[in-house]
Structure 1
């Protein structure tokens, strides 16, 4: 695999230091190569091999043209952050012939576990923000003279881009109308749940023909003027948001969510096992809240698409009276 870092000499360590200012300058990049490969594969899974190949072609042997530096930084930064957070736990200890030992120099003091826990969480949040920035950079990379080899075209024809643009929730703005996430990365992570909602919850209610017609109109940019269709799209999007968030609660890392969705407590004790549990099962409670929202919207969709009641105008208003009987037939 071709990496976006120099792996021989000291150039790679300098590149790493320029990206991660908080690390020591003498951290050898050769020690990070396995983790750099893992982190690179994670980025490729997100943006696609074509986008990464474009980056390696522009990176070349380390001489980057000025007009390409922003793109190379955007794709290298999450790789560097993830690689470091993968190796950092092992670097906290010395791996010797006599087992693992705690490093302790005269001018250094071992960090408490709660400090390490907080730093790990901060590194994870930084990694997700870096991925989000990368996706936003790709979304905004369109130039006046687009060709099949320009970055924006490569990105918009990738499967990662199409994953959300074939759904009713196509953009972060669509999602934020119902619940604010402000994250393109989180939207991509939620795409499987949004697809499930459309196929298994919405399709049985409105039918395949209606679902396909509305989705095609959104995709092609066709103006929708029917008030009922506009309301139906709004309700489908709202249901998809609630369903996706309920699906995500037990599945995705808490660091991906906007602050306030889940509260995480870190202990101030010097042991990881001393972490304080939350007083309530917040993940389950959040999931139940989103499921309740989803159920309420589904009822609105059912009422909207329900056929109007038929009135039989031939039915007599007055009940039939059978004389000679003690009862009235209604």
Structure 2
């Protein structure tokens, strides 16, 4: 692992206690590491791991190779942050009670301590979850900007390059997702599914030529309006599918605005009820259908014009099989 001590967790999260036994959180660190590896690919992780020597006792920080390049050092830090925040978050959630041979217990000093209210715990969980997501977004943005060979050749990146919306920035242009790379790669299978079905059907014979030109970054100027309409419909249909299938916690904070209760209390900002989300998804689908109609209309209006004489058969009277 590329995090091997409580001191590192403290430095990265700002909240984890340095005196905590690292072995108690090591499993969470390992699980978060595996989640990041699934996202960015094993090659990216191995590149960072190659310059890092873990702590032997979990009490002192691991060391970084003296000859490590600035790029590799930056990669290591960008990978460590979401792993540390995610692991600490999971640890806090599972550390509310202690476990022994008799039952689960809450051990506090009743003279100077008290348990947090549930709404406090919920707020704290949300804050840690959002911070973990933003750290992952930061990692993906850095990888996209740096364009490391291992990232460009990863399965995730190769799959994204085959889509009309190949990255976070392209999605952001057509639907605001708070520049969340984590959200983009979470819904990438949805993008591929919508593109294979609804988009292919709407584009018809224009589908493969337009996709090939887009991948080659050589879309003719005359086809750019069609590309824009295609990306718009693709983004809207993907968001509608995400609202139906994903947990509200996965969505970027700016995607679904919080509802304000009538009274300004601690619960004044609430998660939108499922019925409201369902209606919102229907609105997106309607907007997407309008975009698909615009694609069909554009293709119809830009069909090549034919001379009727070119469509009629040409009979040559000099040939014996011609008839008058």
Checking the alignment, whether the CA contact within 8 Å between 1:261 and 1:286 is kept in structure 2 is: no
Compute the displacement of 1:163 (Å): 2.6
Which of 237, 242, 246 is equivalent to 2:231?
A: 237
8 Å CA contact 1:197–1:243 kept in 2: the answer is: yes
With over 3 angstroms needed to count, the CA separation of the structure-2 counterparts of 1:265 and 1:47, relative to structure 1, is farther
Change (3 A) 1:161 1:27: same
- Is the aligned partner of 1:202 residue 2:196? no
Q: Residue 151 of structure 2 aligns with which residue?
A: 155
In the alignment, the residues of structure 2 paired with residue 79 and residue 249 of structure 1 have an alpha-carbon distance, to the nearest angstrom, of: 26
2:187 to 190, 208, 214: 190
Q: Is the 8 A contact 1:43 1:79 kept in 2?
A: yes
The RMSD of aligned alpha carbons is 2.6
CA distance in 1, matches of 2:271, 2:201: 41
- SS for the counterpart of 1:281 is helix
For residue 295 of structure 2, give the secondary structure of its aligned residue in structure 1: helix
Q: Distance in 1 between matches of 2:169 and 2:151?
A: 19
Q: CA deviation at 1:280?
A: 7.2
CA contact (8 A) 2:86 2:132 kept: yes
1:250 aligned counterpart, secondary structure: helix
What is the CA distance between 1:63 and its match in structure 2? Answer: 2.1
Deviations 1:253-302 (A, max 9, x none): 33432425242689848xxxxx9775672211221111111111111112
1:110 paired residue number: 115
Q: Which ranges in structure 2 are unaligned for 5 or more consecutive residues?
A: 55-61, 310-324
CA 1:78 to 1:101, structure 2 compared with 1: closer, same or farther past 3 Å? same
Per the alignment, residue 32 of structure 1 pairs with: 25
Judging changes above 3 Å, is the alpha-carbon distance between structure 1 residues 276 and 191 closer, same or farther for their aligned structure 2 residues?
A: closer
Q: Which secondary structure state, in structure 2, belongs to the residue aligned with residue 177 of structure 1?
A: helix
CA distance in 2, matches of 1:50, 1:288: 40
Q: Taking structure 1 as the reference length, what is the TM-score of the superposition?
A: 0.80
Q: How many residues align?
A: 289
Q: Show structure 1 runs of 5+ residues with no match.
A: 7-11, 143-151, 270-274, 314-330
Q: Partners in 1 of 2:307 and 2:248 — Cα distance? A: 54
Among residues 283, 296, 299, which one is paired with 2:293 in the alignment?
Answer: 299
1:261 aligns with 2:261: no
TM-score normalized by structure 2?
0.81
Per the TM alignment, residue 170 of structure 1 is displaced from its structure 2 partner at its CA by: 1.8
3-state SS in 1 of match to 2:244:
coil
Offset of residue 169 of structure 1: 0.9
What residue in structure 2 maps to residue 317 of structure 1? none
- CA drift of 1:177 comes to 2.2
| Superposed counterparts of 1:113-152, under 5 Å | 113-142=118-147, 152=148
Q: Residues 200-233 of structure 1, C-alpha deviation per residue, up to 9 Å, x if partnerless?
A: 11212323x522211121121224122xx22211
Alpha-carbon displacement from aligned partner over 1:105-149 (angstroms, at most 9, x marks no partner): 13222111111111111111111111111111112225xxxxxxx
For the 8 Å contact 1:14–1:25, the answer to whether it is kept is yes
In 1, the alpha carbon distance for the partners of 2:273 and 2:234 equals 30
